[in-house]
Structure 1
Amino acid sequence: MENNTSKDTRQEKRKPGTRQWIYAILASVLCILFVIWTGYWGVLILIPVFIDIYITKFIPWGAWRNAKNPSVRKILDWVDAIVFALVGVWIINTFFFQNYQIPTSSLEKSLLIGDFLCVSKVSYGARSPMTPFSLPLMQHTFPGTSFKSYLEKPQLEYKRFAGTGHITRGDIVVFNYPSGDTVAVNMQDQDYYVLCKEYGAERVRTDKNLFGDIIYRPVDRRENYVKRCLGLPGETIELRNDTTFIDGKALEDPENLQLFYIVQTDGTTIAPKVFEDLGITKDDMPKISAPEDISRADSTVIEKLGLSSNNGNPGYIYSGVFLTKKMLAELKAKPYVLSIIKQNEYLKKRNQMEPQSRFTTTTYPITYKQDSDPGDFPALWIPKRGATIKFDTDVDYKVAAYIRCIKNYEHNDFDYRDGKVYINGQVADSYTFKYDYYFMMGDNRDYSADSRTWGFVPEDHVVGKPLFIWLSLDKDKGWFSGKIRWNRLFTSGNKK
Structure 2
Amino acid sequence: MNFALILFVLLLITGALYAVDVLKCRKLRARNAPEPLWVEWGASFFPVILIVFVLRSFLFEPFKIPSGSMIPTLLVGDFILVNKFTYGIRLPVINKKIISINDPQRGDVMVFRYPEDPSLDYIKRVVGLPGDTIAYQNKRLTINGQAVDANKQADFEHKERLYFSDQFSEKLGEVEHRFLNDKDAPAFIPDPAHFPHRENCTYNAAGVVCKVPAGHYFMMGDNRDNSRDSRAWGFVPEENIVGRAFFIWLNLSDLSRIGSFR
Q: TM-score, normalised by structure 2?
A: 0.74
Q: Does structure 1 residue 324 correspond to structure 2 residue 167?
A: yes
Counterpart in the other structure of 1:486: 255
For structure 2, list consecutive stretches of 5 or more residues without a partner in the other structure. Answer: 1-21, 170-181
Out of 80, 87, 105, the residue aligned to residue 117 of structure 1 is 80
Q: How many residues align?
A: 228
Deviation at 1:69, TM superposition (A): 4.8
2:136 is equivalent to residue 239 of structure 1: yes
Q: Distance in 2 between matches of 1:87 and 1:257?
A: 47
Q: Structure 1 residue 253: deviation in Å? A: 4.4
1:363 positional shift: 3.4
1:364 Cα deviation (Å)? 5.2
How much identity, in percent, do the aligned residues show? 31
* Offset, 1:124: 0.8
Which residue number in structure 1 is paired with residue 241 of structure 2? 462
**Alignment deviations for residues 228-256 of structure 1 (CA, whole Å, 9 cap, x no partner):** 00000011111122111111111234998
Question: Does residue 1:92 correspond to 2:29, yes or no?
Answer: no
C-alpha contact (below 8 Å) 2:150/2:168 kept by paired residues:
no
Query: 1:253 and 1:64 mapped to 2: Cα distance?
Result: 72
Taking a change above 3 Å as real, the CA distance of residues 471 and 105 of structure 1, as seen in their structure-2 partners, is: same
Aligned to 2:65: 102
Residue 279 (structure 1) aligns with: 157
Partner residue in 2 for 1:63: 27
Instruction: Give the equivalent residue in structure 1 for 2:96.
Output: 158
Compared CA separation, residues 117 and 254, structure 1 to 2 (3 A): farther
Of 439, 443, 446, 2:222 maps to 443
- Higher RCO (C-alpha under 8 Å, 6+ residues apart): 2
Runs of 4+ residues over 6 Å off in structure 1 = 254-258, 366-370
Q: How far apart, in 2, do the equivalents of 1:255 and 1:61 lie?
A: 69
Residues 76-114 of structure 1: CA deviation (Å, up to 9, x unaligned):
234223222222212221111111111100000101111
CA distance in 1, matches of 2:91, 2:153: 34
Matching of residues 413-428 of structure 1 within 5 Å = none
TM-score, normalised with respect to structure 1: 0.41
Report the secondary structure of 2:204's partner residue.
Answer: coil
- Residues in 2 aligned to 1:255 and 1:233: alpha-carbon distance in whole angstroms: 29
Tell me the secondary structure at the aligned position of residue 279 of structure 1: strand
Shift of residue 166, structure 1, vs aligned partner? 2.2
1:364-383 equivalence runs, <5 A: 365=194, 372-373=204-205, 376-383=206-213
Measure the CA separation in 1 of the matches of 2:29 and 2:149.
64
2:192 maps to 1:363 = yes
Q: Distance in 1 between matches of 2:231 and 2:122?
A: 15
Query: Structure 1: 5+ residue runs without aligned partners?
Result: 1-56, 132-156, 181-218, 259-277, 289-320, 327-340, 349-358, 385-435, 474-482
Tell me the amino acid that sits aligned with residue 100 of structure 2: A
SS at match of 1:104: coil
Correspondence 1:167 to 2:131:
no
Query: Alignment RMSD, CA only?
Result: 3.4
Tell me the SS of whatever aligns to 1:107: coil
Contact kept in structure 2, 1:364 and 1:451, CA below 8 Å: no
8 Å CA contact 2:88–2:97 kept in 1: the answer is no
Alignment partners' CA distance in 1, 2:259 and 2:54: 24
Residue identity in the other structure for 2:96 = Y
1:177 to 105, 109, 114: 114
Larger radius of gyration: 1
CA shift digits 1:325-381 (9 cap, x unpaired): 49xxxxxxxxxxxxxx8224xx57xxxxxxxxxx873335478897632xx333211
State the 1:63 CA deviation. 3.2
Distance 1:450 1:379 in 2: 14
